[in-house]
Amino acid sequence: MLVQTCSGLARGVELEGAFVFRGIPYAAPPVGELRFKAPTPVRPWPGIRLCDQFGPIAPQKRDPNGFMPELPQSEDCLNLNVWTTGPADEPKPVLVYIHGGGFVSGKGAECDGLRYAAEDGLVYVSINYRLGALGFLYLGDLLGETFAASGNNGMLDIVAALQWVRRNIAAFGGDPSRVTVIGNSAGAKCTATLYVMEAARGWFHGAIAQSGATQSIRDRTTANVTALRLLDELDLTRAEADRLLELPAERLIEAQSAIGYDTSRSLHMFGPVADGRIIPIDPLGSLGRMGSAPALLIGTNEDEAASFIQGDPLLTPPSPDIADRLFGANAPLVWASFLRYADIMSSEAAWSRTLSEHLYTIGAIQFAAAASDAGARTWMYRLRGGGSLGAIHGYEGSLINGKHDGELPANPDDPYAVAPELYPLARHMRAAWVAFAMTGNPNVPGLPDWPTYGAKHATMVLDRQCRVGDDLPAPAGAAVAHQVWRAEACS
């Protein structure tokens, strides 16, 4: 299949039932003098570009056991992938996937769009965006006005990808007026953050945020603390901060890995920045001033933190010290939540519930309420059906993206395995997600009537037997403010 894009001709690869175009650049390489700068338009290419290989991914710490560890890394990473059955009489809805990975890892190649295109009738797009220091390092206080928006380059990359979709997706058979963004974890946090960015207005029409909202937006003071820590790790003074423009990307990744995703110090060091330019100082408070908001499907999983606790000895046993490292000024409220839960369940269950709620559930509730108040048609879910550790972080992906045809038995040692008794739930969830991308409404046969969140806070409980609960108790400590991370809280 040959497609004429705004930048040149692209040739895709035929698959069983669809075509895939891998590694299409959507912006110019952010290298050299463009490092730490907003993305610029992609340069046209001559002839036909063969899009048969995934493009380079954003520089990150290599994981030899991760998904597709062989993919090259490069600062020239602003590329995307498109799965489609091709042009048709009726343009197809578009689903744009934003990968997660704590803002320091991940790749657009990690989610295969073949079934969405071949079976569900969507045009599926996955993107790469700048990560870690190269995507979210705030340098305004160190390098001045030219770099005042540098803390949000990763978000501006996503906006640039959405602009590319608007201008080019019709040639792939997609409908530019029906674009839904979907993300999990940090990808969901990016998805929600788009709602508070003036630069993102009009480029998408719906969003699915799985286990993430705006709780990772941090203020400039906190973002500057991260920049100073990076300088310290690189043995640079403030006066030498301009050397960040020239150091090899590998050196920056080494330094950010030394200070970064470490639960003994903080949750993660990078994320969007409320800089007053790209993202308002009061993100959630700005929602009502942004005009009509796209439809939203958002939710969390009941046992988000269980897999983290099992895999990280630094999170056990429960203690005020761990709460302090993770939540800073909010730690007393978090610890009080744990003590209340510990009165009615085991210490282990109480700790998992507390971390799950304060890392994910509260942020989702706050964002859903703000989006609903701003006029967005909002649907909320809470996933309870799960595997051996429960509905852990990322488990919805196992349900939605798996085939669940019963040919292979579930692996009891894999907490992400889906047992046969959950196959109906998996099918209903996938149908609801696809329906939302198609129509902006997740109501489908097989699930109870799913009302919008609204004043009653109606929430679809996704389990072996699904139900709508407007009686779900608010998490203990739900008033904790997570809208913006501050230096005294999780810096």
CA distance 318 to 339: 10
Residue 425 token pair = 């739930």
pLDDT of res. 366? 94
pLDDT of res. 264? 36
CA distance 383 to 210: 10
Q: Is 67 helix (H, G, I), strand (E, B) or coil?
A: coil
Residue 393 token pair = 């972080």
pLDDT of res. 472? 64
The answer to whether 224 touches 241, Cβ cutoff 8 Å, is no
- The catalytic residues are 185, 304, 393
- Cβ atoms within 10 Å, residue 318: 20
Q: What angle do CA 83, 84, 86 make, to 5 degrees?
A: 150
CA distance 393 to 302: 9
The count of residues in the chain is 491
pLDDT of res. 397? 96
Residue with tokens 């230096």: 487
Reported as a single tens digit per residue, the pLDDT across 211-243 is 999 999 999 999 999 999 999 999 999 999 999
Which is nearest to 134 in space by CA: 57, 59, 217?
A: 59
Do β-strands 48-50 and 8-11 pair in parallel, antiparallel, or remain unpaired?
Answer: parallel
Q: Is 364 helix (H, G, I), strand (E, B) or coil?
A: helix
pLDDT of res. 489? 34
The answer to whether 261 touches 172, Cβ cutoff 8 Å, is no
**Averaged pLDDT in 10-residue chunks for the chain of 491 residues:** 96 96 98 97 96 97 87 97 94 98 95 96 98 97 95 98 98 98 98 97 97 95 94 97 97 90 54 96 87 92 95 91 88 94 95 95 95 95 96 96 74 89 96 98 97 93 93 57 40 26
The answer to whether 462 touches 385, Cβ cutoff 8 Å, is yes
Report CA dihedral (480, 484, 490, 491) to the nearest 10 degrees.
-160
The region that residue 406 occupies, defined by phi over 0 for left and psi between -120 and 50 for alpha, beta otherwise, is left
CA distance 16 to 121: 14
Percent of the chain with pLDDT over 90: 83
pLDDT of res. 481? 42
φ, ψ at 118 (rounded to 5°):
-75, -35
pLDDT of res. 238? 97
Do β-strands 19-25 and 13-14 pair in parallel, antiparallel, or remain unpaired?
Answer: antiparallel
Element (H, E) at 155: helix 153-168
Residue 156 token pair = 């501006």
pLDDT of res. 219? 94
pLDDT of res. 474? 61
The answer to whether 401 touches 111, Cβ cutoff 8 Å, is yes
φ, ψ at 296 (rounded to 5°):
-135, 130
Could you give all domains of the chain from N- to C-terminal order, each with its CATH number?
Answer: 2-274 (3.40.50.1820), 302-469 (no CATH)
